[in-house]
Structure 1
Amino acid sequence: MEKGKGVMVGRRWAVDFSDNSAAPSSRDIPDPAGFTRAPQDQDESTLSRQKKDAEANWKAQKAWEVAQAPFKNLLMMGFMMWMAGSTVHLFSIGITFSALWQPISALQGLGKVFAPYKDNKVDLLGPKLVFTALNLVGLALGVWKLNTLGLLPTHASDWVSSLPPAQEVEYSGGGIPLY
């Protein structure tokens, strides 16, 4: 090997960088195995698409977590109602009305609860249905507790005051006066 052709004489693996004419260009070096050259724009669009897919998966996962959150509330509220007992007093009535109010307010704010997870790629129908069903179960639990406390008018005797008086079937009148 001659001096001036990019390789120095005497050293087998030494390269002389002072002469640029003999230096191989980046196009002459083959790509490593598994590496393909692609335009930068395509890589950015692929990364952007992957980022959007990952974000959509994250949103779907979080939406399901929010949908299943009322289940924990059901267990806690059921335990509190059990501890309150079946007698009518201030604590049991407060717990019962809390058990009724929480699902109602949660169902009213259904759109706000799932607004952060709204995306074209995320299907929110399933999480919304689960959220609604669990809150309806909580509402039913509160109504059941009202019934066990005797605060729901479920018997005929609860409606007696609103019934018209019964028609008289018999009557008596006259007779022989005894003097």
Structure 2
Amino acid sequence: MEKGKGVMNAGGRRWAVEFADSSTAPSSRDFPDPPGFTRASQDQDDSSLSRQKKEAEANWKAQKAWEVAQSPFKNLMMMGFMMWMAGSTVHLFSIGITFSALWQPISALQGVGKVFEPYKDSKVELLGPKLLCIALNLAGLGLGIWKLNTLGLLPTHPSDWVSSLPPPQVL
């Protein structure tokens, strides 16, 4: 036998598959259905399948909308930790972190409509997720304003307004 050549069968083909006669082969009805399988699920009409598919898509969109609405919470925790690590003294790092803590919620509040646009559907209610997203971004904005106050950069004391007071009259 030559190197690299397989054994040939009588028909001259290298590989051959002989199928059994279909009359002797067992049919699929001869075997019992596995546990949990129902033939009725295969026989459903297309309208119920499309309705189920639309309901599943609506549920998926609602779930994703809530996940997007909760995403500012993760940012809020990270930003709070970074502000705590920056300390309460005025220097370049703490001002940069504070500016970032103020800018991110403002830009997120401006784009709330665009963020939830992919999840618009007649069956999906987006008011709850939008309100949660707005509330979490307002909390982030409040955190940034609180950091400005701890740095002493907000004019909250009367001494901050001395320059706008008229000079005292001499009696």
Q: Sort the TM-score into its range (normalised by shorter chain).
A: 0.7 to 0.9
Other structure's SS at 2:116 match: helix
Mapping 1:1-179, distance limit 5 Å: 35=40, 43-168=45-170, 170=171
User: 5+ unaligned residues in a row in structure 2: which ranges?
Assistant: 1-22, 24-37
Structure 1 ranges of 4+ moved more than 4 A: 33-36
Question: How high is the TM-score relative to the length of structure 2?
Answer: 0.74
Say which one has the larger Rg.
1
Other structure's SS at 1:52 match: helix
User: CA–CA distance in 1 between the matches of 2:166 and 2:55?
Assistant: 68
User: CA–CA distance in 1 between the matches of 2:131 and 2:56?
Assistant: 24
Relative distance call for 1:35 and 1:139 in structure 2 (3 A) is closer
Deviation at 1:47, TM superposition (A): 0.9
Give aligned pairs, total.
135
User: 5+ unaligned residues in a row in structure 1: which ranges?
Assistant: 1-14, 16-32, 171-179
Deviation at 1:81, TM superposition (A): 0.3
Question: How high is the TM-score relative to the length of structure 1?
Answer: 0.71
Q: Which residue of 1 aligns with 2:15?
A: none
Higher relative contact order (CA 8 A, sep 6+): 2
CA RMSD of the aligned region, Å?
Answer: 2.0
Aligned partner of 2:79: which letter? Answer: M
